[in-house]
Amino acid sequence: MVTVYSNKITVSVSGQQVTLSATLSPASSIITLGQSVTLTCSVSGGTAPYTYSWYIDGVNKGVYGSTYTYTPSTAGSHTVYVYVVDSQMRSTNSNTAYITVNKPSVTYNVSVSASPSTNLSTNTDVTFTVSVTASDGSIPIGTATLYINHANGTIWGTWPLTLTNGSATITLQPGLYLATGETYMTYYAVYQGYQSPTGQITFQTSKQPTYITLTASNTNPAPNTIVTFTLSTDGYNVAGTLYAYNSQANAQNAPSLTGQLAQYAISIGSSGTGSSGGLYPTQIAPTTYWIAVIGNVKSNIVEVVEQQVQITQISMCAKPTGYQGNVEFIVTTNAGGQGTVSLTGYSFNPSTGMVGSVIWGPMPYFSVVNGTANTTIVPGMVATNTAWRASINNVVSNWLYITNASSSSPGTIVPSC
């Protein structure tokens, strides 16, 4: 038996890696809404080429290359991973990358304007408009505050304004009663700590008067009649004061408080005139003395005297007062007249209707003011049955009859109020 051996053949087998893995970087990122982050997927093992399917928050966003630029549309936490497949259909998932998206820091631009803003008189209305815009395009809501300062920097006033679609308006009279010489004021607005640029409103230059002329629309008004006082001067844009006194001597010493009945502020504009508006001077006193003062300059004195209405008619009625036998006598005159009432009681026979002699009178006088007067007595203490009459300056009233009166009962009254 013959053994035959062939030649040797050496076979070399190369070691090819088939394990597939994918790594996504960066593994975590923190950005602000509106910004982007670029993620890269690195693959090892498997057989190229590779296919990359990108998943964001668990949703397949499609097949892209090994890099992907992600721009989040909402703030919060987001996740990203990649599903990788090689040419031999081997597949794997990458690690998960975590993206934190913060809301952007919002800034606000605040502006405020005034109209009109120059050459203002002290009683000019000015409309201020505040506008606020946000860096993120949102519409600012809530309250902005308007500040107006005197020229020396002290605050004249603050006004909270509710924004509507990012703006608000208010109309003010910033020059009202400003001290003489205040030629301008500044203003600005604040919203959530953001302040607008400072603006300025300017006033007409004021001039102190050398004279004042005071006139009244009516110096002899009927009761309850409105009177308007007008000041005319050679000054302008100043504040004056109108005073009422109980005597001419006290008025000459204005602005002394002696005998002072009332005072009213009056603004003198660029025309050199000012008005008190409607006043009822006779409600202060039947006779009043008026004078205007600006600085050290005084006007003439205007005397206002209420008309005395001539009484030509008197009527009288009475009613129980609810206290024992007391009766209240009420006298009314024509046209709101004034005067002193004399009330007299007479004996009265209810059976015959005859009025007898005076049994009490005249009673203590009482006054009619603006057409009415009243007094209270106990007729039953005079006589059981009495007839009464009132008179003012020889003008007499109707008869008033009281029957069966006593100290505890008013009896029957005709006419009764």
Q: Give all strands (DSSP E) within 212-300, no chain letters.
A: 212-216, 227-233, 238-245, 260-268, 273-279, 287-294, 297-298
Q: Which residues, 6 or more positions from 219, have their beta carbon under 8 angstroms from its beta carbon? A: 227, 302, 303, 304, 305
Give the chain's domains with CATH numbers.
Answer: 21-102 (2.60.40.10), 108-202 (2.60.40.1930), 212-305 (2.60.40), 314-414 (2.60.40)
Please give the pLDDT value at position 352: 93
Write down the H helix ranges in 164-229: none
| 384 backbone φψ class: left, alpha, beta (φ>0; ψ -120 to 50) | alpha
Query: Rounded distance, CA 405 to CA 387, Å?
Result: 12
pLDDT digits 0-9 by tens, 54-67: 999 999 999 999 99
In sequence order, the β-bridge partners of residue 100 are 30, 77
Give residue 127's Cα distance to chain centre. 14
Please give the pLDDT value at position 3: 58
Stated pTM of the model: 0.37
Q: Are 171 and 161 in contact (CB under 8 A)?
A: no
Q: Give the number of residues written for the chain.
A: 417
Please tell me the least confidently modeled range out of 17-21, 98-102, 108-112: 17-21
Query: What is the helix (H) or strand (E) element at residue 248, kind and residue range?
Result: helix 248-252
Sheet containing strand 21-25, edge to edge, reads 21-25, 37-44, 67-70
Residue found by looking up tokens 């629309």 in the block = 217
Token pair belonging to 63: 């097949």
Identify the three-state secondary structure at position 56: strand
Residue found by looking up tokens 């004056």 in the block = 240
pLDDT above 90 (res 350): yes
Please tell me the least confidently modeled range out of 68-77, 87-96, 144-153, 301-310: 301-310
pLDDT digits 0-9 by tens, 25-62: 999 999 988 899 999 999 999 999 999 999 999 999 99
Q: Are 302 and 287 in contact (CB under 8 A)?
A: no
Q: pLDDT class for 179, splitting at 50, 70, 90?
A: very low
pLDDT digits 0-9 by tens, 65-85: 999 999 998 889 999 999 999
Task: Pick 5 or 91 by higher pLDDT.
Answer: 91
Query: Rounded distance, CA 139 to CA 341, Å?
Result: 75
Please give the pLDDT value at position 227: 95
Token pair belonging to 29: 């990122």
Mean pLDDT confidence for 172-176: 83
